[in-house]
């Protein structure tokens, strides 16, 4: 039976300095590029979490030598990748980024994951691999990539409206394909564009030429350079801590905030400002000071580029003094859980007024009360419950340890924040 975690209630403004571990998105991209490189790489400040451990284990299974010493990871690529059995867990980066690598292996690579992972969209990237000349059995987990040591590449057309990871996964391996890779997006919308920009920027840093036009990306065939990667703090994981300042009228500072970044989490600065917070970035430290308790302003946001922030923003909106409308996020129904349905259900169970839209949520102010908050094995749902619990006494979050997916020790970090 899942243990319920009593979310700490904060009767006073939260005042704290919170150090946030490295970015999962950058760490797992760096691991893929290091495994495909023409020489050794070192990754400094890497996130150590379930998702990154799954990525390390997957690449080791394919034959890559990886030495992990805390947040420092040394990667030595293998001249020949081999068949393997890959556990994806619930990690989208593993299930979408590793199959294009596995296509370069000699032998069959079998993929499976958690029960919830088997319903996550996968057909687009697997069909893209087939168009590139790869044999694949299956259209969702579990599936098998039949590698023969090389991939032709060329031009592929994919509908990436379900996840930007379909594009990023193909881009990361494309330089190793004989004819490179051109990816054309065929869908009506493309979510989380900052994550594709992150992929393109990191490829360029590894010496790979990528040309991007509207809805298409071309990767030139050639080597991927081994290099030293320094990982930024995970800005999306920082957002619940900054939200604590916003909902309690306190002040929270996060050091190490980059002046330039492709992380979608950086958008929280503008969102919190729009909701009435004072937000300042000074010499690499981001500080957020919330307005008087109960006076946060609601917002109308197109979150198509920053969907992963939706649970945090929905929690803020639920305790704001005016309505909010969050749109452009229909793709969240295919994340770790149906995040739109989950947020509507959990907030509704606590007395919130939430309406599901075709592509988002409408949230109207309403008095909230304590009760159970379900995480659905989704790390961002769990942290959203923690935010609500700061200002609503009696909230109990199930499976708080699911936050280990990207932020191990979250409950301890949360308690430390409240102690200041």
CA distance 56 to 213: 32
Q: Is 308 annotated as a binding residue?
A: yes
Q: Is 405 annotated as a binding residue?
A: yes
Q: Is 92 annotated as a binding residue?
A: yes
Of 232, 308, 336, 396, catalytic: 308
Q: Is 380 annotated as a binding residue?
A: yes
CA distance 407 to 47: 8
CA distance 399 to 330: 25
Does the annotation count 300 as an active-site position?
no
Residue 203 falls in which region: left (phi positive, over 0), alpha (psi -120 to 50) or beta: alpha
Q: Is 336 annotated as a binding residue?
A: no
Q: Is 29 annotated as a binding residue?
A: yes
Closest CA to 299 of 270, 256, 279: 270
Q: Is 232 annotated as a binding residue?
A: no
CA distance 275 to 175: 43
Residue 116, both tokens:
């919830």
Q: Is 163 annotated as a binding residue?
A: yes
Q: Is 335 annotated as a binding residue?
A: yes
Q: Is 192 annotated as a binding residue?
A: yes
Give me the residue label for tokens 């571990």: 21
Closest CA to 384 of 357, 345, 353: 345
- Detail the residues annotated as belonging to a binding site: 24-25, 29, 92, 120, 163-165, 192, 308, 335, 339, 380, 405
User: Which residues form the catalytic set?
Assistant: 308
- Detail the residues annotated as belonging to a binding site for phosphoenolpyruvate: 24, 92, 120, 165, 339, 380, 405
- Detail the residues annotated as belonging to a binding site for 3-phosphoshikimate: 24-25, 29, 163-165, 192, 308, 335
């Amino acid at each position: 039976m899942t243990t319920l975690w009593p979310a700490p209630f904060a009767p006073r403004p939260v005042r704290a300095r919170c150090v946030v571990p490295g970015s999962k998105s950058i760490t797992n991209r760096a691991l893929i590029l290091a495994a495909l490189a023409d020489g050794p790489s070192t990754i400094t400040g890497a996130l150590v979490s379930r998702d990154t451990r799954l990525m390390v284990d997957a690449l080791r299974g394919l034959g890559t030598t990886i030495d992990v010493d805390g947040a420092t990871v040394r990667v030595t690529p293998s001249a020949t990748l081999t068949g393997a059995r890959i556990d994806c867990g619930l990690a989208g980066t593993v299930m979408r980024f590793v199959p294009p690598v596995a296509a370069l292996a000699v032998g069959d690579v079998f993929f499976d994951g958690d029960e919830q992972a088997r319903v996550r969209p996968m057909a687009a990237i697997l069909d893209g691999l087939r168009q590139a000349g790869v044999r694949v059995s299956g259209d969702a987990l579990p599936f098998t990539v039949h590698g023969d040591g090389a991939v032709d590449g060329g031009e592929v057309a994919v509908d990436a409206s379900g996840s930007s990871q379909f594009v990023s996964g193909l881009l990361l391996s494309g330089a190793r394909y004989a004819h490179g890779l051109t990816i054309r997006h065929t869908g009506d919308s493309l979510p989380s564009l900052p994550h594709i920009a992150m992929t393109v920027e990191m490829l360029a840093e590894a010496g790979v030429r990528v040309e991007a036009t509207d809805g298409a990306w071309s990767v030139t065939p050639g080597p991927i350079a081994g290099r030293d990667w320094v990982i930024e703090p995970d800005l999306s994981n920082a957002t619940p801590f900054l939200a604590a300042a916003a909902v309690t009228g306190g002040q929270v500072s996060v050091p190490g905030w980059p002046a330039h970044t492709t992380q979608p989490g950086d958008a929280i600065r503008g969102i919190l400002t729009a909701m009435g917070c004072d937000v300042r970035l000074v010499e690499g430290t981001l500080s957020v000071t919330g307005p008087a308790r109960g006076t946060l302003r609601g917002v109308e946001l197109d979150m198509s580029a920053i969907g992963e922030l939706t649970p945090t923003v929905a929690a803020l909106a639920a305790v704001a003094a005016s309505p909010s409308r969050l749109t452009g996020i229909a793709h969240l129904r295919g994340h770790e859980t149906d995040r739109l349905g989950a947020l509507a259900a959990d907030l509704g169970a606590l007395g919130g007024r939430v309406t599901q839209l075709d592509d988002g949520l409408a949230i109207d102010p309403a008095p909230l009360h304590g009760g159970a908050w379900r995480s659905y094995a989704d790390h961002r749902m769990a942290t959203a419950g923690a935010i609500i619990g700061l200002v609503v006494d009696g909230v109990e979050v199930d499976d708080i340890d699911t936050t280990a997916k990207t932020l191990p020790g979250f409950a301890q970090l949360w308690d430390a924040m409240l102690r200041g």
